[in-house]
């Protein structure tokens, strides 16, 4: 009784503080208010991160390249006349700090970060959803609704996102890593945005050299023909959504990955989806980081 009483008293005097998922510093219970990033408070990152770590996030909030979502005029996209991938939007700039965070998640296996990174991706999902609204000329109707783009698209039977999928790993890489980091992020987006998740892509062969260790031209060549449509999952998706899909002229699919570097991986995935789709596709992507 005595020891239990002391523990109760200590809990009152020294309430438990959740440690920051990145640096283990006790987290302040106060919400984050940042007028320069009005959507930041909606993400509730203060549940996972201390203020210092929140301020270290290099948000990619200014987009100059409309295709890849880069914060500069992208010379790569200016030279691309056609691409299977329509547009990409990313959450953060891939600076040294963000590289360390991703390395901890992807290569050190800190799977707790999947929820955090998934939440950080939500503003990028809103950006690409707005691009989809613009593509179909629905801006006026969307503005009148006063809803976020993704929430507004949920109620559209004609123009919304039909599925979200992830860049797949090879069997060897999945066994080595233990989980697919992109799939975990896509699952968070699926849950938050009410977009059904399907494994619509397969990896056809294993690359011996990691993309992070390859140059630009090598990445492009290595990505070609590495991906194919997952026919079993496509059949499942079409069977479960056949009535709705039969009324559509075009399907809209969102691919999720961790980093956009040259765009070769995402473009190869988009080409694989186009090869197996029974209907025309609009394929967009969101990535956690843009290098």
Residues 227, 85 within the same domain:
yes
246 shares its domain with 122 = yes
Q: Cα(206)–Cα(190) distance, rounded to whole angstroms?
A: 27
Question: How high is the pLDDT of residue 37?
Answer: 67
The answer on 51 and 166 residing in a single domain is: no
**Within this chain, do residues 151 and 110 fall inside the same structural domain, yes or no?**
yes
Judge if 42 and 129 occupy the same domain: no
**96-106 vs 113-135: helix crossing angle, rounded to 10:** 110
Domain boundary among 56, 77, 94: 56
Pair (50, 175) in one structural domain = no
Domain boundary among 56, 77, 103: 56
In this predicted model, which residue has the larger pLDDT, 220 or 19? 19
CA torsion 190-191-193-195 (nearest 10°) is 40
Residue 94: predicted pLDDT: 96
Model confidence pLDDT, tens digit, residues 102-114: 999 999 999 999 9
Domain end residue (candidates: 28, 56, 84): 56
Q: At 256, phi and psi to the nearest 5?
A: -115, 135
Same domain, 268 and 182: yes
Same domain, 83 and 225: yes
Summarize pLDDT for 122-170 with one digit per residue, the tens.
999 999 999 999 999 999 999 999 999 999 999 888 899 999 999 999 9
- Based on the fold, state whether residues 100 and 75 are members of the same structural domain: yes
Identify whether 203 is part of a domain: yes
Q: Which of 3-7, 107-111, 221-225 has the highest mean pLDDT?
A: 107-111
Domain assignment present for 61: no
Do 3 and 95 belong to one domain?
A: no
* Token pair recorded at residue 74: 């992208």
Same domain? 48 vs 88: no
Do residues 120 and 13 share a domain? no
Residue 40: which domain range? 1-56
Secondary structure (H, E, C), 198-242: CCCEEECCCCCCCHHHCCHHHHHHHHCCCEEECHHHHHHHHHHCH
User: Is residue 225 in some structural domain?
Assistant: yes
Q: What is the pLDDT of residues 233-290, one digit of tens each?
A: 999 998 998 887 877 889 999 999 999 999 999 999 999 999 999 899 999 999 999 9
Percentage of the chain beyond pLDDT 90 is 62
Burial 172-193 (b: 16+ CB within 10 A, else e): eeeeeeeebbbbbbbbbbbeeb
Q: Give the number of domains in the chain.
A: 2
């Amino acid at each position: 009784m005595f020891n239990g009483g002391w523990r109760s008293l200590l809990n009152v005097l020294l309430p438990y503080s959740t440690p920051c998922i990145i640096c283990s510093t006790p987290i302040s219970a106060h919400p984050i208010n940042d007028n320069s990033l009005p959507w930041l408070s909606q993400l509730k990152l203060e549940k996972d991160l201390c203020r210092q770590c929140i301020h270290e996030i290099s948000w990619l909030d200014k987009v100059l390249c409309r295709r890849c979502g880069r914060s500069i005029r992208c010379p790569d996209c200016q030279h691309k006349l056609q691409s299977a991938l329509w547009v990409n939007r990313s959450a953060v700039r891939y600076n040294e700090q963000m590289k360390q965070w991703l390395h901890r998640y992807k290569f050190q296996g800190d799977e707790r970060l999947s929820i955090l990174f998934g939440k950080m991706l939500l503003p990028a999902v809103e950006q690409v959803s707005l691009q989809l609204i613009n593509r179909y000329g629905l801006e006026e109707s969307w503005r009148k609704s006063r809803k976020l783009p993704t929430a507004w698209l949920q109620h559209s039977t004609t123009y919304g996102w039909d599925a979200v999928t992830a860049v797949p790993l090879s069997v060897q890489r999945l066994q080595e890593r233990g989980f697919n980091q992109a799939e975990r992020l896509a699952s968070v987006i699926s849950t938050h945005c009410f977009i059904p998740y399907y494994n619509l892509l397969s990896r056809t062969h294993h690359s011996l050299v990691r993309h992070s260790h390859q140059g630009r031209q090598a990445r492009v060549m290595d990505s070609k023909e590495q991906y194919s449509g997952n026919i079993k999952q496509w059949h499942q998706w079409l069977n479960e959504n056949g009535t709705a899909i039969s009324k559509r002229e075009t399907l809209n699919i969102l691919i999720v990955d961790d980093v956009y570097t040259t765009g070769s991986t995402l473009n190869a995935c988009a080409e694989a989806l186009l090869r197996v789709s029974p209907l025309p596709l609009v394929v967009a992507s969101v990535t956690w980081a843009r290098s």
